[in-house]
């Protein structure tokens, strides 16, 4: 029995400004117009022998995004496992293996990052079936990509002796310079390291105990403190925070005597930066070599990748550029320096700017909101609440809110929480109707209807930060402490 384990913890900072910390690349439709990268990862599981619903390992901030995207596909996950904070892949897979062993005796874990593109799904499935034979012979399998170019952005695997349709791993090699990468390609002895693995849950934990016992001990302590939260499994925060951060490559695969590699050539791309996405799109470009997405006009331009999300983007007389437009940021970069986009994100973080972690449109388990205008003392938002969804019962210390319904029906609850008794009133608002929530009033917004509720919210007050919120009740279990200046659970 195969239990897919999808790792969905990345931030995709090299794909800024489209990928952001709170809505990273695995949730975006970068390769397809219909499915996100996470959804594409799930789709390629169809046809694998005896394959269960996937287990997804993600951080707490993304839990509702994962659940919503799986639900939108009609896919029931075996588990959604929440990491309190990122500790890289070795600890994440230890937690996944422990969880898997509670569900089955000793399943095969097929480990896949959530943010890769695989174009030839049949070739991928054939490689997985080949990998099963190597696992049954006692190996921990990684899948190596047949290199097409001397790429300097990937780690490499040197093939050893033949083994069960693949090879023993002779060595893992760090990202090379261009000269060495060409030598690797010419030799035919090297594969790109894909970050995709296949092994038995018990064997992984056994190898981890031998190669990185401290990681296993920390994960066991954190798993012992686990608790159920709606459809999610939360891991003990303090114990997991004490765990050393390390990848499965360093912690286990480079040290074990049982590593094997199965080659595959499925049209793989990790979309690590904008130049990688250009490589995918440029195959369908015209003679000028330009690849575009959205409302784009080019003149006398060659070999560019231009993506527009919210307005017309025009470029004249430019070559070899990456131009990415969103509603609050524009990136212009030389294609050869696309990997350096991460430096911009680091600078935004150092300046504590919101563009590094959030879009203008922010997704929540109940729907989303979009900041339309922000100024001194007031801001205007569009709020969309999905049918049947409910915001938390909450109160603000520093702002008042005026709501105008423009589509659907709203049920509004407002009142006061007092020592001896609570006094609330509930009423319905239809299109073109409005209400005022004064500062300090406890309130809740619901959509009792069958279509999305859309309203305009005008906030006024001395402080309009999203962390000005006190929750009294929440159907999504988000009664945790907010991070100052950033609303991570609203």
Indicate if 25 and 144 belong to the same structural domain: yes
Nearest-angstrom CA–CA distance, 108 and 110: 6
- Per residue, the 3-state secondary structure of 55-120, as one string, reads EEEEEHHHHHHHHHHHHHHCCCCCEEEEECCCCCHHHHHHHHHHHHHHHCCCCEEEEEECCCEECC
The per-residue pLDDT for range 123-171, each reduced to its tens digit, is 999 999 999 999 999 999 999 999 999 998 899 999 999 999 999 999 9
Helix (H) / strand (E) containing 180: helix 178-187
Average pLDDT score over residue span 375-385:
95
Residue-wise pLDDT tens digits, 272-284: 999 999 999 988 8
**Alpha carbons 270 and 114: distance in angstroms, whole number:** 10
Same domain, 438 and 405: yes
Q: Which residue among 269, 296, 312 closes a domain?
A: 269
Read off the pLDDT of residues 292-329 as tens digits, 9 standing for 90 and up.
999 999 999 999 999 999 999 999 999 999 999 999 99
32 and 70 together in one domain: yes
| Co-location of 243 and 323 in the same domain | no
Q: Where is the domain boundary, 246, 269, 292?
A: 269
12 lies in the same domain as 161: yes
- Shared domain for 245 and 306, answered yes or no, is no
| Domain extent at residue 458 | 360-473
Q: How many domains does the chain fold into?
A: 3
Angstrom CA distances, 68 to 114, 363, 364, 401, stand at 15, 11, 10, 28
Residue closest to 58 by CA, chosen among 48, 69, 50: 69
Residue 50 predicted with pLDDT over 50:
yes
Pairwise CA distance, residues 114 & 65, whole Å: 13
Q: Does 407 map to a domain?
A: yes
Indicate if 313 and 429 belong to the same structural domain: no
Helix residue ranges per DSSP H, 285-434: 341-350
Identify whether residues 126 and 185 lie together within a single domain.
Answer: yes
Asked, for residue 347, whether it belongs to a domain, the answer is no
Give the CATH number, domain containing residue 469: 2.60.120.10
Residues 254, 333, single domain; the answer is no
In a domain, 480, yes or no: no
Compute the mean pLDDT over every residue in the chain, rounded to the nearest whole number: 93
Coil, helix or strand for 378? strand
In 3-state terms, what secondary structure has residue 229?
A: strand
Residue 403's closest CA among 416, 419, 385? 385
Asked if the structure places residue 313 within a domain, the reply is yes
At CB < 8 A and 24+ separation, what contacts does 323-328 make? 324/17, 324/18, 324/274, 325/294, 326/17, 326/18, 326/359, 326/360, 327/359, 327/360, 327/361, 328/17, 328/355, 328/359, 328/360
Considering the domain boundaries, does residue 354 fall inside one? no
**The whole model's pTM is what?**
0.88
- The verdict on 70 and 101 lying in the same domain is yes
What does the pLDDT read at residue 220? 97
Element (H, E) at 269: strand 268-269
pLDDT computed for residue 421 by the predictor: 62
Whether residue 190 sits in one domain with residue 259: yes
Looking at the structure, tell me whether residues 429 and 296 fall in a common domain: no
Question: Any idea what the CATH number is for the domain that residue 44 is in?
Answer: 3.90.550.10
């Amino acid at each position: 029995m195969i239990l897919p384990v999808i790792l969905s913890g990345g931030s995709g900072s090299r794909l800024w400004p489209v990928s952001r910390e709170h809505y990273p690349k695995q949730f975006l439709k970068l390769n397809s117009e219909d499915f996100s990268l996470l959804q594409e990862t799930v789709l390629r599981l169809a046809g694998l022998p005896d394959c269960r619903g996937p287990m997804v390992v993600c951080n707490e901030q993304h839990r509702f995004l994962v659940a919503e995207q799986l639900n939108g596909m009609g896919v029931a996950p075996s588990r959604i496992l929440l990491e309190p904070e990122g500790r890289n892949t070795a600890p994440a897979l230890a937690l996944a293996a422990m969880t898997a062993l509670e569900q089955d005796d000793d399943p095969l874990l097929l480990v896949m990052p959530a943010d890769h593109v695989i174009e030839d799904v049949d070739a991928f499935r054939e490689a997985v079936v080949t990998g099963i034979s190597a696992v049954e012979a006692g190996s921990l399998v990684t899948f190596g990509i047949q290199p097409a170019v001397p790429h300097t952005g990937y780690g490499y695997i040197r093939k050893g002796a033949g083994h069960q349709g693949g090879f023993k791993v002779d060595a893992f090699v760090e990202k090379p310079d261009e000269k060495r990468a060409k030598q690797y390609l010419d030799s035919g002895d090297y594969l790109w390291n894909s970050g995709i693995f296949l092994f038995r849950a018990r064997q992984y934990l056994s190898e981890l105990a031998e190669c990185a016992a401290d990681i296993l001990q920390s994960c066991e302590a954190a798993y012992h403190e686990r608790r159920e939260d709606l459809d999610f499994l939360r891991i003990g925060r303090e114990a997991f925070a004490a765990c050393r951060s390390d990848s499965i490559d360093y912690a286990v695969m480079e040290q074990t005597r049982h590593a094997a590699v199965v080659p595959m050539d499925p049209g793989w791309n990790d979309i690590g930066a904008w130049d990688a996405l250009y490589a995918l799109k440029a195959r369908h470009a015209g003679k000028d070599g330009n690849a575009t997405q959205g409302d784009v006009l080019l003149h006398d331009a060659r070999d560019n990748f231009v993506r527009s999300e919210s307005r017309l983007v025009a470029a004249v007389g430019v070559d070899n550029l990456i131009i990415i437009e969103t509603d609050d940021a524009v990136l212009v970069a030389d294609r050869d320096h696309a990997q350096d986009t991460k430096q911009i994100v680091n600078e935004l973080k150092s300046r504590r700017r919101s563009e590094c972690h959030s879009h203008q449109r922010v997704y929540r388990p109940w729907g989303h909101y979009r900041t339309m205008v922000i100024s001194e003392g007031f801001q205007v938002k569009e709020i969309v609440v999905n049918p049947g969804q409910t915001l938390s019962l909450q109160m603000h210390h520093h702002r008042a809110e005026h709501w105008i319904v423009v589509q659907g029906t709203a049920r509004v609850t407002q009142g006061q929480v007092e020592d001896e008794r609570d006094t609330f009133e509930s009423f319905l608002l239809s299109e073109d109707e409005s209400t005022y929530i004064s500062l300090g009033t406890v309130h809740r917004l619901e959509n009792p209807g069958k279509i999305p509720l859309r309203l305009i919210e005008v906030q006024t007050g001395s402080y309009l930060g999203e962390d000005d919120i006190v929750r009294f009740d929440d159907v999504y279990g988000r009664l945790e402490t907010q991070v100052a200046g950033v609303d991570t659970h609203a």
